[in-house]
Structure 1
Amino acid sequence: MRSTRATYAIERLNARSTDHRYSMIRTASELFILAQNAGDALPIRVSEPLELDAFVKFVNAYGPQIPRRISKLDVAFEKQLLKRDK
């Protein structure tokens, strides 16, 4: 199924966002729209109709972000790379 990437992006967004639930709307012209669920009311459209790649990129950047975990080894490696570039 072509929309699997979009579905997984929505699942990741819902895992990051605890206040709101999101879903996607797929149009007849194969475009995707991000929608915020509003209970019994109609969903609130958050994005314009986007193609698959642009939709996934938009959803990944939308909402709260999980901080990237960096280990001590990663920090030491980045320092070595900076020294090497100089």
Structure 2
Amino acid sequence: MAVVKFTSNLKRFYPDLSPLEVSGKTVSEILNEIETRYTGLKDYIVDENGTLRKHVNIFIGNEMVKDREGLKDELDERDEVYVMQALSGG
């Protein structure tokens, strides 16, 4: 199973949030699985259309996901996935 790690900013809303082992073949599938464990968490990550929010990045290992709209990037069961807050500003 892939391991998903989260930005510490989400702990403000989900204090017991910790790295999760999640099954799924795509980023979209693992986000659906995470939502079953932490109701509402997916809304912080994707918008109402299922598109990755502007100020959120997801990495599979060291590579940022390419499909920010459908989140169909494929996963291997040994992957580490990082959900991070994107930095912006100047």
Check whether TM > 0.5.
Answer: no
Q: TM-score, normalised by structure 2?
A: 0.28
**Structure that is richer in helix per residue:** 1
Q: Which has the higher contact order (CA 8 A, sep 6+)?
A: 2
TM value normalised by structure 1:
0.28
The structure whose Rg is larger is: 1
Q: Which of the two has greater strand per residue?
A: 2
